[in-house]
Amino acid sequence: MEVLSYAFSEGSSGVGAYSRVLLGGGVGFHLGYAALKETFLRCWGLLAIEPNPLNSGALIRCGCRFPGRSLSVLRLLAIFVGMSIVGCAESQEDSRPNLVLIVVDTLRADHLEIYGYGRETSPALKELAERGIVYEKHVASAGQTVPSTLTLMTSLHPAEHGFRHLGNGHFSKNRPVYPEALTLLPEVFKEAGYATAGFVGNPFLQDKNGFSQGYDRFLYSDAEGARLTNAAIRWVEQRASEEEPFFLYVHYFDVHTPYRPPGRFREMFPRPAEGRVIESNGRVPGVRKRDIRTTVALYDGGIAYVDDQIGRLLEHLDELGVLEETVVAVTSDHGEEFMDHGGFGHGTHVHGELVRAPLVIAGPGVPESGGREENLTHHLDLAPTLLSLLGLGVPDEFRGEPFEGTGTVAFAEDGPFYAVHADGYKLIVNTNTDGAQVYSLGDALDQSPLQEPEIERQLRDRLAWYRALHKLHGEDADAEIPGWTDEERAKLEALGYTR
Ligand SMILES: [Zn+2]
């Protein structure tokens, strides 16, 4: 693996020619299991139509589920069979799509036009959404980077991957060092024969913390997002003539504090005269409305900057001829608060402005309909969904499942606050006080608490399972939380809840 830090020049290099080299042996080698199945079935007129994991139309894919480690055996089989196919040549290249996963740190969904925001913060995401799907009710696993991003990368709850935020800046580990025992998403792609690269701007996700496992090339940079974009473009250009598909992960940090959007983005949205910029977490005394408006204007400028970077990256992929064979997914690790519930920043609670994350997916296998998915979805299930969309197996270590289109149960946590989203409602419990609030899922920002004692009771049952996970895995601050009794376990299983 090649790990780079601050190794790239600022300037973007020119766009190189992109071509695929079709050689018999290489073609056979790179035919994945799914592509093989498709090739055979197309030859014999038996094309399988299976439910699209994105729940919109049908997707042609392999329905097999197998551990990543068995892929090498299947691929060896693919070499033999792939080289033997005669007379059905149209699929004789590695036709598996690429995946570009973009995480925009600290991006709350409702500040994007695709979620109804009035300011033009995000034309590139709007354009991407027009040829893909927008997920209306997508939930991050936590209101802080490390637990949330690790859920994205491992498809495990924070209690299971072990990196929780306990509140007030304290973590369940002294510092985030991600053990090799965790199976991270890039490792799954690597095992499946993909080229892999990660370009990240969040200091929690540095290679020195073990976050770079599974990447052929990895860059952490605290420079502006343009450096990540340039590095990503250069990497794709450099491997443009390579046969195997790629997994590219870009994690932008420019929406996060300090709110300093560069160049024209700093003045993009008007700010009141004499407004303060609030860059603290939690409650801030003496805040005036003009301070909030000033802070939000700069935050929105940061979104516009990152959106511009995303647009530049996708434009280059298009010029290189790879965009049409690339699945693109854009989400965030958590949002940001601007006095929505009395404070600023994040890592403080689990209300909608912090855990309702944007999600857009577009590319091969995703209907180009500009569709919107109304059902609840969760970070836990994103990696399995993307793997399934690409026809790849989901490792047994991943807890999540591909989006089913019927909604799910989505948990989120931060410090003493736990949230469960299910059955059209959301319950938040403060485990320090046992105080609870119920909201409708249609109330994305948790603005109108409901008096629904029966809903609260039902969702507390669901939350009991999640809180028990902390006891099962716990070496942290949840030691006093009571675990399951046998009776509770049976009750939860009777509800059909097996997560
Ligand atoms: Zn973050």
Q: Specify the 3-state DSSP secondary structure of 199.
A: strand
d(CA 220, CA 212): 9
329 Cα: distance to centroid of ligand 1 (angstroms): 17
Closest CA to 321 of 73, 18, 40: 18
Q: How far is CA 379 from CA 104, 135, 144, 342, in A?
A: 14, 12, 13, 26
Q: Which residues make Cβ contacts (< 8 Å) with residue 457, sequence separation at least 6?
A: none
Question: Residue 339 CA to chain centroid, in angstroms?
Answer: 26
Cβ burial, residue 49 (10 Å; 0-12/13-18/19+): exposed
The residues facing 438 across adjacent strands are 427, 450
H-helix or E-strand containing 38? helix 33-43
333 Cα: distance to centroid of ligand 1 (angstroms): 5
d(CA 275, CA 342): 18
Provide the residue type at 102 as one letter: I
Tell me how far apart the terminal alpha carbons of the chain are, to the nearest angstrom: 35
106 Cα: distance to centroid of ligand 1 (angstroms): 5
- The pLDDT assigned to 398 comes to 96
What length does the chain have? 499
d(CA 294, CA 277): 6
- The pLDDT assigned to 489 comes to 47
- The pLDDT assigned to 93 comes to 61
d(CA 218, CA 207): 7
Looking up tokens 């300093």 gives 260
- The pLDDT assigned to 209 comes to 85
**pLDDT by residue for the chain (499 residues), tens digit each?**
555 443 322 233 332 222 222 222 222 222 233 333 333 333 333 333 333 444 433 333 332 333 333 333 333 333 333 333 333 333 446 789 999 999 999 999 999 999 999 999 999 999 999 999 999 999 999 999 999 999 999 999 999 998 888 887 777 776 668 888 899 999 999 999 999 999 999 998 988 888 999 999 999 999 999 999 999 999 999 998 888 999 999 999 999 999 999 999 999 999 998 999 999 889 999 999 999 999 999 999 999 999 999 999 999 999 999 999 999 999 999 999 999 999 999 999 999 999 999 999 999 999 877 899 999 999 999 999 999 999 999 999 999 999 988 889 999 999 999 999 999 999 999 999 999 999 999 999 999 999 999 999 999 999 999 998 888 886 444 433 334 446 544 543 444 333 3
- The pLDDT assigned to 483 comes to 40
The residues facing 217 across adjacent strands are 2, 197
Q: Which residues make Cβ contacts (< 8 Å) with residue 302, sequence separation at least 6?
A: 254, 255, 256, 259, 260, 261, 265
Say what the pTM is.
0.79
372 Cα: distance to centroid of ligand 1 (angstroms): 25
d(CA 215, CA 231): 14
Provide the residue type at 101 as one letter: L
485 Cα: distance to centroid of ligand 1 (angstroms): 35
Q: What is the pLDDT of residues 3-33, one digit of tens each?
A: 544 332 223 333 222 222 222 222 222 223 3
334 Cα: distance to centroid of ligand 1 (angstroms): 6
d(CA 328, CA 338): 29
145 Cα: distance to centroid of ligand 1 (angstroms): 3
DSSP type of residue 392: P
d(CA 3, CA 100): 19
Residue 132: phi and psi, rounded to 5, are -150, -150
d(CA 15, CA 12): 9
Provide the residue type at 283 as one letter: R
182 Cα: distance to centroid of ligand 1 (angstroms): 20
Closest CA to 246 of 287, 268, 214: 214
H-helix or E-strand containing 488? helix 486-494
Q: What residue spans of 364-485 are helical by DSSP H?
A: 382-389, 453-473
> What domains are there in the chain, each with its CATH number?
14-91 (no CATH), 98-410 (3.40.720.10), 417-494 (no CATH)
Cis-peptide, bond into residue 482, ω within 30° of zero: no
- Which pair of tokens denotes residue 391? 């026809």
- The pLDDT assigned to 487 comes to 54
165 Cα: distance to centroid of ligand 1 (angstroms): 12
d(CA 109, CA 409): 19
d(CA 272, CA 365): 46
The residues facing 246 across adjacent strands are 195
147 Cα: distance to centroid of ligand 1 (angstroms): 9
- The pLDDT assigned to 33 comes to 34
- The pLDDT assigned to 486 comes to 60
